[in-house]
A and B are shown apart, each in its own frame.
Chain A
């Protein structure tokens, strides 16, 4: 089972790097969907394992919730949010895409060097999984910084939450159930609120370029 989890952690990292390399909003949402499906698969495998070993249904329920929320519901919300926006492809970047991808790779190297110096995270297989999932968090943060459109920040936030969830899964086999449920409720509320805010920004500022949100200074 561990080797499947290794492969899945690699694929999840891969999906976050592919996310950085896209320019169209539809591709962002599609890649996010694939990443969430991979995470649901990971949760499913771990849940199945915990069901057989300890008889607890917690992680399997969490897996089903992920499928409902992140694979089905949230992409639909995102589609609705960006439906009202005029342009669907992001043209303006701070740095060009190959450079962004190489910086993501640099982030993975950085995480590897940091994590390998912390005892308690240092056993063989856990090391690989934790490095990969922690890199997803940093890559999500980087994605948020590298995009000029407000929608990019929403998706970056979602990727950060994905990364945190996988890190929790891989390092501690999940947090207490009530905390998990609370995290999901918080996340979906956050996305709803951010979606409404993006629509309001679009209305008031005529674009979702966050560089135009610079009136308050000092």
Chain B
């Protein structure tokens, strides 16, 4: 009976795995076909592999430029939001003074605000500041969007740091700055990595804000560029799939190597 159960469980898992992976497989196998081959056999295995679509995307699309933009925006937004969130979380957990708990609770609420609701005022603000089509516009917006979850995350983490460590340092006469730098930050290493990964995925994958703020071909992010080129190449599926595959490749590679970080970070804050 148990054996039958095990077999059925394996079967279920295999089916679910196929469903999970098929759209990715479809993307890759289409990208490896020529347009003629694809028209003849959209779903079959790509027996006659061609890399011409990948090289066409690489050479004719500003895909490297888009990736560079996405990378810069991700690094800055995630970097800044992480630093200021650590500072604020440190103050909330270990500091003294009014407003700390309110700030924490505000962040919990703000975590769930739909970014689209903020988009119009942010857009008109950026127009006034002349930052449309400039990368700083999305950097500012993303930083703001990442703060609530980051603060929430770090506060939860700091609350689990043994108080004795902090007390000992305090007794030794360390000022707050030193406590933060020498005690808290080193302890937060792994957690910070997981948060950084979570936030980086959000920024890298984000479409709506990037679509609106960065409209010129040279300032576009990867996802916005991909979405926009969709219309132009709608009849050239292999080419589009090759570009789409380029866009997921960094994430897939990172995932294969650091999967547990992804999992830990993305499920943080759900439980205790």
A binds B: no
Chain B interface residues (CB < 8 Å from chain A): none
Which residues of A line the B interface, CB within 8 A?
none
